[in-house]
Structure 1
C-alpha cells in the first residue's frame, strides 16, 4: 500500500459551506436526498457546536497518531480534520496540543472515528470534536499512513475536499461538487419549514397540513369513542 501526503486539495464553494453551517446536519441531510450521514457513533464532546468546512482526511494505523502530525501542515483556515484508522480503534489519538496547533491555523474542528482525550481542556478551548470514543489511552508515532486520500468514517466515505457538517445531531458529508446544489435545496427546505412552524404555532394539526387523515383511513385506522371500547370493563 502506498503511503502519501496529498497537497493542494480543491476546496468546496465557500458560500455553500457557510449556508450548510448555518442550517445544520438534519436540514443538510434531507436536502441531500437523505444521504451522507455517518453512523450515530460519532458524538460531540460538548453540546451546541455547529461547524462546516473542507475535509482534510487522515488515514492512520490504530494506536498511532503520526499522520495527524503530518496532516496539520496541510490544514488551512476553515478546514475540518477528519481521521480514520485502518481497523477499529478507540485509543485517544488526539488531545489539547493538537487542538492548539489546529486552532492556530484556523481549523474549525475534528471528526474522528477513533478516540480523543483531554476533553475538559478541549471544552475550555471551545475546539469542537466529534469522536467514536473518549479514551485516555495514549498512542505512538511509528507507522506510516496517508493524508488527503479517501477514507471510511463511521460507515461513510469521505474524500478530501468534501464538505463536513457537524452539530448536536451528528455528522453529514456532502461531496464537494454537490455542495452548491445541496445548499440551495437546504435553503428552500428551511423556508418551507419556517412556514410550517408558523402554522403549527397557530394551532394547525400536522394531520391536516400533511393530509394524513386519508392515509389513516386507507390503513384501516378507525376513530371510536371510549364508550365503544370493551377493554377493562367488568361484566
Structure 2
C-alpha cells in the first residue's frame, strides 16, 4: 500500500481508533484545538523545531514541504507565541500540506478558516515570534510525551493528535482494520438493544458482590 493510501485510511479511522488499536501509544497528550472542526488528516511529519519564541524555522521548512506532509511546528518550551499566521499558512497550502500541528499559538484565525487548511493549535494568541534563530528542520521532537521523527505518520482530528512510527504503519493498519470490524459488530448488537453491561459480564460480577 502506498504511503498516501495508508495515511488516508488512518485519517478515516480517526485518532481514537488508531490510538486504541495501536496499543494506546503515540498520543500527543496535550490540548490541541482544530481551527477547522471536523477535519480528519494524516500524513508524514515534516518538522520545524524553532528557536524559543521564534519562527524562522517555519519559513525554512516551507522549502522542504512535500504534498501530503503534515507540518509539525514546535519549540523547546511551548508557549502562546504565534508560529503560524495567514501568510505562512498560505505557503503551506500552496505547497500541498495535508495539515499543520502547532505546538504553540496561531493567529489570523478567521483567515485560516477561510483558507481551508486544517490546522491544530495549542493556543490562539497574536503575540508575534522573532526571526533570529535558525532552529532545526526534520529532527525528532517530543510533544505531549510522544517522540515524533521525520516521516512518522501524524493523525489529527477533533479528538486531538497522535503519531505512528513509520516502521509501524503496516501493523497499525492491520490492528485498526480488526478494531473497526469488531466495533461494527458491537454497534449492531447495541442497536439491537443488548447492553455492554451484560455483554462484558459486569452485571454478573456486580451481583456477586
TM range (shorter): over 0.9
> What CA distance in whole angstroms lies between the structure 2 residues aligned with 1:95 and 1:176?
29
> How many residue pairs were aligned?
208
Matched, 1:82 2:72: yes
RMSD (Å) for aligned C-alpha atoms: 1.3
1:112 is paired with a residue of what secondary structure?
Answer: strand
- State whether residues 14 and 155 of structure 2, in contact with CA within 8 Å, keep that contact through their aligned partners in structure 1: yes
Q: Which residue of 2 aligns with 1:211?
A: 201
Q: CA deviation at 1:16?
A: 2.1
1:188 to 163, 175, 178: 178
Aligned mates of 1:126, 1:13 — CA distance in 2:
23
Q: Which residue of 1 aligns with 2:36?
A: 46
Q: Which runs of 5+ in 2 are unaligned?
A: none
| TM-score normalized with structure 2 length | 0.95
Work out the CA distance in 1 between the residues paired with 2:142 and 2:177: 28
Matches within 5 A, 1:116-135: 116-135=106-125
Structure 1 residue aligned with 2:97: 107
Q: Deviations over 1:16-35 (max 9, x none)?
A: 21210110000000111011
Give yes or no for the alignment of 1:163 onto 2:153: yes
Report the counterpart of residue 188 of structure 2 in structure 1.
Answer: 198
Q: Distance in 2 between matches of 1:93 and 1:117?
A: 8
4+ residue segments displaced more than 4 Å? none
Match of residue 7, structure 2, among 9, 17, 35: 17
- Does structure 1 conserve the Cα–Cα contact (< 8 Å) formed by 2:83 and 2:105? yes
Contact 2:49/2:139 (CA < 8 Å) preserved in 1?
yes
Kept in 2, the 8 Å contact 1:41–1:154? The answer is no
- 5+ residue gaps, structure 1: 1-11, 221-235
**TM-score of the pair, normalised by structure 1:** 0.85
